[in-house]
Amino acid sequence: MHIHYISEQNSILNHFLAQIRDVNIQNDSMRFRKNIERIGEIMAYELSKTLDYKNIDVQTPLGIKHTTTIAEPVVLCSILRAGLALHQGFMSFFDNAENGFVSAYRHHYDNDDKFEILVEYQAAPSFEGKNLILIDPMLATGQSLVAVLHKLHLEQKPKEIHIAVVIATPEGIEYLEKNVPENCHLWVAALDEKLDKHNYIVPGLGDAGDLAYGIKL
């Protein structure tokens, strides 16, 4: 797995990352969603530099321009519901992409810290020969992303798999390295310290889905 840390150099990305973590700003859900969307746009731009391109000719009003465009189609696939705002940011740049959506959540058997990942809903196009970009804001244990990849029937063989996360932990990255195909790229906006005993990211930002869309039952 190839890992790309895109906040290592100072940029406006770090400004947006600071705001989504700030407890004094988080109560504004519209601002939180917008900042996640902006982060998605920045990540999409950085990711686009690694894709394959082909030569094309474009007819302008005054002549022909030789330029390039992305060679293989892109499919954006986000994990509901937290991934929606980040997905919107990627859509702003990959505006011709096909789109898929998958649900995944932690199911706690006895209201303790033990859980399994349940993946119950899938609506996605074919990935065969395409660039699959799997979108989820938080990479905690890594179990949700691996479960979703299995659900998506990767025997379709995407050309490349890109996993885009806003915040990741060393534990989650290690789990992905052991459980995803070798042709995966992991894009990380920020690497955090660790998981706590409840498998939440520290320092993290809290529950991204709740902050973006309201507290769930």
204-216 confidence digits (pLDDT tens): 999 999 999 998 7
E strand or H helix that includes residue 186: strand 184-191
Residue-wise pLDDT for 85-134, tens only, equals 999 999 999 999 999 999 877 665 666 666 677 778 888 999 999 999 99
Q: What are phi and psi of 154, to 5 degrees?
A: -75, 10
Question: Alpha-carbon distance 139 to 137, whole Å?
Answer: 7
Q: What pLDDT is recorded for position 73?
A: 97
E strand or H helix that includes residue 37: helix 29-48
Contact 131, 164 (CB under 8 A): no
Whether the per-residue pLDDT at 165 is higher than 70: the answer is yes
Contact 135, 79 (CB under 8 A): yes
Q: What pLDDT is recorded for position 187?
A: 98
Query: What's the pTM?
Result: 0.92
Of 50-59, 72-81, 148-157, which one has max mean pLDDT?
50-59
Contact 163, 134 (CB under 8 A): yes
Q: What pLDDT is recorded for position 115?
A: 66
Question: Alpha-carbon distance 179 to 173, whole Å?
Answer: 10
Q: Classify residue 216 by its DSSP letter.
A: -
Structure-derived torsion over alpha carbons of residues 127, 172, 183, 46, reported in degrees to the nearest 10: 80
CB hemisphere CA count around 180 (13 angstroms): 28
Axis-axis angle for helices 170-179, 143-151 (nearest 10):
30
